[in-house]
Structure 1
Amino acid sequence: MLSETTAATVRATLPVIGAKIGEITPIFYRRMFAAHPDLERDLFNRGNQAQGDQQRALAGAIAAYATLLVSEEGPDVDTLLARIAHKHASLGIAPDQYPIVHRHLFEAIGEVLGDAATPEVVAAWDEVYWDMAHALIRIEKGLYSGFGVSPEEVWQDLVVVERRQESPDTVSFRVGRRDGGQLPQARPGQYVSVQVTLPDGARQIRQYSLTRAPRRTTWGLTVKAVPETGGSGVTAPAGEVSNFLHDNLFEGDPIRCSLPFGDLVLEDRPDPVLLVSAGIGCTPIIGMLHYLVRTESDRPVTVLHADRSPARHPHRQELAELVDQLEDARLHHWYEDLGVRPATETIRRGLIDLDSTQIDSDAQVYLCGPLPFMEAVREGLAERGVPESHVHYEVFGPDTWVPHTSPEMANA
């Protein structure tokens, strides 16, 4: 926890830092990558860097953490940091990397704030940084020890057992050990990192949800090829890793995966379950449904999925078959384009509409999809009386979604 003097300084300067942190983070990354080009090449997502997503995620995390630390109600910092720590663990982040971040971050702070970066202000925010860093290191240490590994031991060399086309732009892979041995236990909803060596020599890493985690000798993961997109003068680059995997990974090929991590986990409890997804966001939901089927769950389960069309819906048949195997489960679809198919009571045209679906306010909700979709669903759930504490979500890529925004954080 921060000292009273530090907390007062942070509280007083939070609006200023919040207003400038969007300028600080790009300079920080530029400085760090200039000094350590291997980090950009082999660790950070180059696509997210190009679009600024990583910078926005870091800015939001710092502002949110500082706000919690100076909150009169007391911070629930582990909830905020758990998602970051799981991501770090899936990358094999080690404690000795935090001083590197510290050095270049505070050089950037000094460059942007200039004379406003007084010794008192720098010392206060230095305390914030190390409080956050030590909390992350503590959580990450626990994640590593859970598997009995060190950070450099999270990676496993596996092989593709099966490849299957799930939709025009998605491919699923079943992976396992070459000797057919057991894989580490994964919890329903978790993901693994996949590392590939690209033609330019960069070793880029991406995370993919496990769709078949309960199968101890193989894991299932699904990859959507991300095309280059443009509009309003902004162009998003094509997915380097996703397209590489689509074009180059087949049965018998090696694949390098991390141990399973992720804080979006289906908990064993009697509450009703509401699983809501859009597009490729169905993958952690599929993993949860496999678990519910395998454990012969009698929990009431409602599954809501939105997609562009039935033809582009990955795991469409598998999703329906899993729901059919559960004792008390129902499935509803929404498609922007139904083609010539008529709408039915459970298959509708258009965007997801919570008002047309029976929702239990006591349900534990697991939500995954594009950010605008999740924001709309979250607002709809709040209107239906579902407590925010019941809503659990997964973001593919940097977590730039901060569901609660204080006045100080709004400036970030």
Structure 2
Amino acid sequence: MLSQKTIDIIKSTVPVLEVHGTTITTVFYENLFEAHPELLNVFNHANQKKGRQQNALANTVLAAAKYIDQLETILPAVKQIAQKHRSLAVKPEHYPIVGEFLLGAIKEVLKDAATEEIIHAWGEAYGVIAGVFISIEKEMYDQASNQDGGWSDFKPFTVVEKVQESDVITSFYLKPANGDAVPSFLPGQYVTIRMEIQGERYLFNRQYSLSASPGKDYFRISVKKEKPGISPDGRVSNYLHEVIQVGDMIDVTAPAGDFTINMEKQTPLVFLSGGVGITPFMSMVHAVADQKPERDVQFIHASENGALQPFRSELTELSRKLTNYQLSFVYKNPSEEDKNLPNFEKQGYMDAELLSSHVKPEADYYVCGPVPFMKAIITCLKELGIDPEKIHYEFFGPAIAL
């Protein structure tokens, strides 16, 4: 337990963290990787280059400072981060290293303002927070390894099939290389894949949603090919699309993540996706079709056009299983052929006018896609009177503030 004095000191640093938090975490990562370059085998390089990891850590540190005397308040966020950590094989021995460099970054950025008393208080607080993460992650590791077909860290999988879903999205079907069974998972969860790319010094880790329902003898991930040279994400996605072939092996972690649906509920479901944000919903909607086909499901997907629309026939065929199912496509720049598709609903954007015709106050809404898309859709839903507790969303990568 932290003393009241330590709690008061930590809370007194909140205004400073609000101003300098991202600077501190940027310095932290620079110093950490310079001293421990081997940790570049664990972290997502693209999130580092885009600054998302730095912002996410700054937000976490700030939240910890604000709620240091009631950490249970931020427990949902802690569990979400812990899921990511478990999927990346972050271990207890990493925490002392992180603590050392985080305190060092606070001193480096704040200089004389980071008094010995403040550094000591943050050292104590970090120890408590790290202990919470380590405890939660141990439970997650145990759960991942003790389930049927489960394992703890990374495991080799073989690519058994490669299917082009649209002009930019390809699905990879993966089976354990040793012939083991595939564990079950919750619809909407993701796996981390780890790859060695020729000519690169460090391993690459990427997290991809599982896009097929549980209960299969394979995992399926569906990957958007990013434009090379424009997005730092492109290194791995282009390698997967252009180099990885059937028969190749990829290291995979057990499924993780808390962006899932409650299969016990009967409330209507509304899936709102943009671009590759459709992938976790494929697992969800298939699971509903398999287990609760009578459940009310509305699925609205936004794409640039029909050529970039993934899973069109797969989604359409679900009408054979789902008895109360409405599927709609929204295309920004549809072709004349696109406009004649049975499920084409609107040219332009998914907006309040469109959503208002699909609103069901009792429904659970699931949103996933590019950040601007998510901001717009979540804002629209709230303006239409949807209870925020019924709006569920997930970021691909570190969480940021909407």
State the TM-score, normalizing by the size of structure 2. 0.92
Matches within 5 A, 1:207-222: 207-222=207-222
Identity %: 35
1:267 aligns to 2:262 (yes or no): yes
Correspondent of 2:130 among 121, 130, 133: 133
Q: Which residue pairs with 1:164 in the alignment?
A: 163
Residue 61 of structure 2 is matched in structure 1 by: 62
| Cα distance in 1 between the residues matched to 2:125 and 2:327 | 46
In 2, are the aligned partners of 1:180 and 1:217 still within 8 Å (CA)? no
Point out where structure 2 has 5 or more consecutive residues left out of the alignment: none
Contact 2:42 2:90 in 1 (8 A): no
* Aligned-partner SS, 1:148: helix
Counterpart in the other structure of 1:107: 104
Match in the other structure for 1:396:
396
Judged with a 3 Å threshold, the aligned counterparts in structure 2 of structure 1 residues 14 and 91 are, in CA distance, closer, same or farther, namely same
| Contact kept? 1:307, 1:335, Cα under 8 Å | yes
Bigger mean CA deviation after superposition, 341-350 or 221-230: 341-350
Shift of the 123–179 alpha-carbon distance from structure 1 to 2, 3 Å rule, reads: closer
Partner of 2:152: 153
Partner of 1:196: 195
Report how far residue 180 of structure 1 moved: 4.5
Aligned counterpart, 2:283: 287
Is 288-297 or 273-282 further displaced after alignment? 288-297
SS at match of 2:67: helix
Q: How many residues align?
A: 394
Query: Contact 2:46–2:232 (CA<8 Å) still a contact in 1?
Result: yes
Higher RCO, Cα 8 Å, sep 6+: 1
In the other structure, the counterpart of 2:173 is: 174
Amino acid of the structure 2 residue aligned with 1:304 = I
Rounded Cα–Cα distance in structure 2 between residues aligned with 1:4 and 1:318: 58
Query: 2:26: which partner in 1?
Result: 26
Query: 86, 91, 94: which is aligned to 1:89?
Result: 86
Mapped pair 1:243 → 2:232: no
Tell me the alpha carbon deviations over residues 159-202 of structure 1, each in whole angstroms, 9 at most, x when there is no partner. Answer: 11111111121110111124654211111000000110011242
CA–CA separation in structure 1 for the residues paired with 2:379 and 2:271:
16
CA contact (8 A) 1:174 1:218 kept: yes
Aligned position for 2:348: 350
Distance 1:2 1:314, change over 3 A: farther
Task: Look up the match of 2:314.
Answer: 318
Cα deviations across residues 316-353 of structure 1 (Å, max 9, x unaligned)? 22122225521112122211111124378852101102
Partner of 1:406: none
RMSD of aligned Cα (Å): 2.2
Tell whether 2:148 aligns with 1:143: no
Structure 1 runs (4+) greater than 4 angstroms displaced: 149-152, 343-346
Q: CA deviation at 1:358?
A: 2.1
Q: Which runs of 5+ in 1 are unaligned?
A: 231-235, 404-412
SS of alignment partner, residue 153 of structure 1? coil
* Matched position secondary structure for 2:240: helix
Question: What is the TM-score normalised by the length of structure 1?
Answer: 0.90
